[in-house]
Amino acid sequence: MSIDTASIPFNRPCLGGPEYAYVANAVERMHLSGDGSFTHACHAILEQVSGAAKALLTTSCTHALEMSGLLLELKPGDEVIVPAFTFVSTVNAYVLRGAHPVFADVRADTMNLDERQLESLITPRTKAIVVVHYAGVACEMDAILEIARRHGVPVVEDNAHGLFGSYRSRPLGSFGVMATQSFHETKNIQCGEGGALLLNDPSLVRRAEILREKGTNRAAFFRGAVDKYTWVDVGSSWLPSDMLAAFLLAQLEAREAIQAKRRAVWDRYQASLAGWASDHGVRLPTIPAHCDHPSHMFYMVLPDLAARTHFISHLRAQQIHAVFHYQALHLSPMGRSLGGRDGQCPVTEMASDCLVRLPLWNDLPTADQDRVIEAVRSSM
Ligand SMILES: *Cc1c(COP(=O)(O)O)cnc(C)c1O
């Protein structure tokens, strides 16, 4: 192993097309604040691909989740069912409103909220069910929506991984009353920091616009629907600059090329590692036949924590950066303070110890993919 081998980062943000030209154009127009023409163009694409009644760009997926907490009108003591295996923001957004998170374990095949346990977690205080389509592979939405409907509980999709994914040919992000997207630089489509709230229930649109504009009816004013704008509700400032939207628009317009590149890397990993994985007790991602995934991440589940620690250092010795996530949220200091207990979500606890992600980004060169595949095969 030569020491001057260039390192292969876990992620590298990639340009999709005319990002520079669009940002320059936003600067020339001197519309630098939010909700300019680039933002509106992004909204149109997001509405087209998801079928949402309204898309609103936000400063992050975290902020879109916070908006969902306000739109659900959560009060202290309300319960929100969340997967224990997810990013902090999926849960923190509701804890911020005083709600109590009820942690659901995930399925061992897809790492998605286990719909078979869902009904046992519902109580008269349950005010929402939040699902995460892990790695962009859909949760079992037929079963989840049926249970939610029977109990009159709204579903929110944290679709940070799942833009362009589908379940029974229907786009992810179109199942919940609302869904959130992330355009953080680690996601398929990115602008550094950014997100969106997709509203599938049209009755939420007006309030969402107000919350995002500091509690004012500024959006209605610009549409000419009111003759002055004023403070009408709570809110904050959750709209990104139109310069960021310009960058994002270039990425969204290049979505087919970006997705094709990612699919090629994902498929190559899968084809090259399937035999090795089954020989070594390693599990590769499970993609149910009724799910189309957007090649957001390639993960592997190793036999135990020691095997994962060895695996990551074996790759690191060859300058390849593989990473793990998520630490079981119910066992984090905050999760424990909210009542989380050891053994409460066994699959999540296993995944926290055993799951690892391989480098995957749009322009990952073929030669680097080969180096990753070789390093994985020589790890055990
Ligand atoms: C990335 C991510 C988020 C947070 O996204 P930001 O845009 O960085 O706030 C939330 N949930 C999930 C599942 C994520 O992967």
Pocket test for ligand 1, best of 89, 90, 112, 357 (most atoms within 8 A of CB): 89
Q: What pLDDT, on a 0 to 100 scale, did the predictor assign at position 214?
A: 97
Domain boundaries, the chain: 19-253, 255-322+358-377
133 lines ligand 1 (CB under 6 A): no
User: What end-to-end distance do the CA atoms of the chain give, in Å?
Assistant: 17
Per residue in 291-316, pLDDT (tens digit) is: 999 999 999 999 999 999 999 999 99
371 lines ligand 1 (CB under 6 A): no
Can you tell me which atom of ligand 1 is nearest the CA of 86? 13
- Atom 5 of ligand 1, nearest CA residue: 61
132 lines ligand 1 (CB under 6 A): yes
Residue 240 identity: P
**Does the pLDDT value for residue 368 go beyond 90?**
yes
Can you tell me which atom of ligand 1 is nearest the CA of 90? 11
Fold observed for domain 19-253: Aspartate Aminotransferase; domain 2 (3.40.640)
60 lines ligand 1 (CB under 6 A): yes
> Contact 299/135 with Cβ under 8 angstroms?
yes
Q: Identify how many contiguous H helices and E strands the chain contains and give both numbers.
A: 14, 12
158 lines ligand 1 (CB under 6 A): yes
- What is the distance, to the nearest Å, from the Cα of residue 364 to the centroid of all Cα atoms in its chain? 21
Question: How many CB atoms neighbour CB 36 within 10 A?
Answer: 18
Strand pairing report for 166-167 and 291-292: antiparallel
11 lines ligand 1 (CB under 6 A): no
CA distance 57 to 197: 6
pLDDT grade, residue 1 (50/70/90)?
A: very low
Superfamily holding 255-322+358-377: Aspartate Aminotransferase, domain 1 (3.90.1150.10)
161 lines ligand 1 (CB under 6 A): yes
Is pTM beyond 0.95? Reply is yes
**Does the pLDDT value for residue 2 go beyond 90?**
no
Per residue in 88-142, pLDDT (tens digit) is: 999 999 999 999 999 999 999 999 999 999 999 999 999 999 999 999 999 999 9
> Helix crossing, 305-316 with 366-377: angle to 10°?
140
- Atom 6 of ligand 1, nearest CA residue: 61
CA distance 161 to 196: 13
